[in-house]
């Protein structure tokens, strides 16, 4: 699978439109119906969040597993756009269809993760506008294991911060602020290792007796606060006295 660059940048509406044009050129190959859907989705997001002077975007890595008889782990990127509005009409999330898409179950999990993670930090989501897209033509994400990564990314954006590149978490966010369990952890950790990710967080409840890939390094976390602190930890702490809860060789 082709992987897109992982970047962390401040966005302007001009840049958002440029990203949209690049995406739409690839979507043309998938047919006019998908093209019109992508245009409508991005236009709705821009119109809703236009009041914000400095919207932000980030491509974040997420871990997934292919379907089929012989599943394998994959690292893909999800585009996250964040802006605040002048009104307080409530959390507004646009799931942009095209080139790829998020299943209804995944959309629900992401919305819940964003709301629950924001609550942990005492943040109001009433004026947030968020856009999410999958930059892979014909690619559909099923499941909820990316929801913690997206939720924590949005929280970081709201706080004026950004999760450093090459760090990822696979997990869900429960209503009481815990990191919920996910499956296929060894396959996901192996994919992260192959992709060169420097930090991989998994739910403590997902480790069990599963055998991790040889030479892989993975940390387990129990709460949203622990996960955020680990993802945002300075690099010198990671390479110095910082030790993950789990170190599998």
- Say if residue 38's pLDDT is above 50: no
Burial of 68 per CB tally in 10 Å (0-12, 13-18, 19+) = exposed
- Say if residue 138's pLDDT is above 50: yes
Q: What is the pLDDT of residue 216?
A: 53
What is 40-54 written as a DSSP string? HHHHHHHHHTTT-SS
- Say if residue 11's pLDDT is above 50: no
* Segment 68-80 mean pLDDT: 93
- Say if residue 18's pLDDT is above 90: no
- Say if residue 92's pLDDT is above 70: yes
- Say if residue 98's pLDDT is above 80: no
- Say if residue 42's pLDDT is above 60: no
The yes/no answer on whether domain 8-233 falls in CATH 3.30.230.10 is yes
Is 192:75 a contact under the CB 8 Å cutoff?
Answer: yes
127 or 22: which leads in pLDDT: 127
Domain boundaries, the chain: 8-233
- Say if residue 23's pLDDT is above 50: no
* Segment 165-170 mean pLDDT: 94
pLDDT band of residue 54 (cuts 50, 70, 90) is low
How many C-beta atoms surround the C-beta of residue 116 within 10 A?
A: 21
| Dist. CA 117–CA 210, nearest whole Å | 27
Q: What percent of the chain has pLDDT over 70?
A: 68
**Single pTM value for the model:** 0.76
- Say if residue 171's pLDDT is above 50: yes
Is 135:145 a contact under the CB 8 Å cutoff?
Answer: no
* Segment 149-173 mean pLDDT: 96
Q: What is the pLDDT of residue 1?
A: 33
DSSP-derived letter for residue 28 is G
């Amino acid at each position: 699978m082709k992987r897109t660059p992982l970047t962390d940048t401040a966005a302007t509406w001009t840049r958002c439109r440029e990203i949209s044009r690049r995406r739409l050129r690839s979507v043309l190959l998938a047919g006019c119906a998908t093209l019109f859907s992508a245009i409508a989705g991005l236009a709705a997001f821009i119109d809703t969040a236009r009041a914000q002077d400095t919207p932000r975007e980030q491509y974040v890595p997420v871990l997934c597993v292919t379907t089929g008889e012989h599943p394998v782990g994959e690292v893909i990127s999800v585009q996250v756009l964040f802006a605040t509005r002048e009104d307080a009409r409530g959390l507004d999330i646009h799931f942009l269809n095209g080139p790829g898409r998020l299943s209804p179950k995944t959309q629900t999990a992401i919305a819940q993760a964003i709301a629950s993670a924001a609550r942990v930090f005492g943040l109001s989501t009433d004026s947030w506008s968020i856009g999410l897209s999958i930059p892979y033509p014909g690619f559909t994400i099923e499941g909820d294991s990316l929801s913690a990564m997206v939720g924590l990314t949005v929280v970081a954006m709201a706080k004026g911060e950004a999760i450093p590149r090459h760090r990822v978490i696979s997990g869900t966010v429960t209503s009481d602020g815990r990191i919920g369990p996910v499956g296929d952890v060894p396959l996901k950790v192996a994919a992260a290792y192959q992709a060169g990710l420097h930090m991989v967080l998994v739910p403590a409840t997902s480790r069990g007796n599963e055998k991790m890939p040889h030479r892989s390094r993975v940390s387990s976390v129990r709460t949203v606060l622990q996960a955020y602190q680990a993802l945002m930890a300075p690099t010198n702490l990671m390479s110095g006295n910082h030790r993950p809860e789990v170190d599998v060789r």
